[in-house]
Chains A and B, each alone.
Chain A
């Protein structure tokens, strides 16, 4: 059971939140928002990849009769 991906996503989320706070305190709030959006997109890619795998499996098992 390869669970590292879940820890990866949680870790990325926490670190992006911290970077957002630090940048906001430095005064560069717009860059903070950019970083958050990019981090979210990266995580989204990971999720979509897994979702695709899931739907492929479902198609194979249930519908490919």
Chain B
């Protein structure tokens, strides 16, 4: 069962970090970052299956492929921003974490602009013309 492995690894890493923290805090931070990255890497493989399935469904339902791609990219940006902000927050740098999250939001907005303009146009087209 992978859940148990992941929880076990997290616990062991936490204990090691606590031990190392009072000797050399910098190594504790690096260890935390490394564990986070490692667990994320482990999960990416699973996420891949889910995403492929979603893509498959989307293709079958006839939605233009560009929408699917944009949505996936937005999800990716959200994941990365959350991950980075959390790690930085762990090191105590709240301001940098806030900036990372802000950057994530801005980039998502930028990516979403074409979709939003399409929605607005569709809505405008639905309104009775001239009325």
Contacts and interface: CB of A to CB of B under 8 A. Distances in A.
B87 to A, nearest CB: 10
A57 B41 CA distance: 8
Interface SS of chain B: helix
Interface residues of B, number: 36
Interface SS majority for chain A:
helix
Interface residues of A, number: 32
Contact of B35 (A6, A20, A53): A6
Given A1-B42, A3-B9, A62 B72 contact: yes
A22 interface: no
B27 A57 contact: no
Contacts of A43: 27, 30
Nearest to B28: A13
20 contacts: A5-B34, A5-B38, A6-B9, A6-B12, A9-B30, A13-B24, A13-B27, A13-B30, A16-B27, A47-B30, A47-B33, A53-B41, A54-B44, A55-B80, A58-B44, A58-B79, A61-B76, A63-B73, A65-B68, A65-B72
Interface of A: 1, 3, 5-7, 9-10, 12-14, 16-18, 20, 36, 39-40, 43-44, 46-47, 50-51, 53-55, 57-58, 61-63, 65
The 9 closest A-B pairs by CB, nearest first: A62-B76, A13-B27, A17-B23, A65-B69, A10-B16, A13-B20, A57-B44, A17-B24, A47-B34
Given A10-B27, A14-B23, 8 more contacts: A3-B12, A3-B38, A7-B16, A13-B23, A17-B27, A58-B80, A61-B76, A65-B65
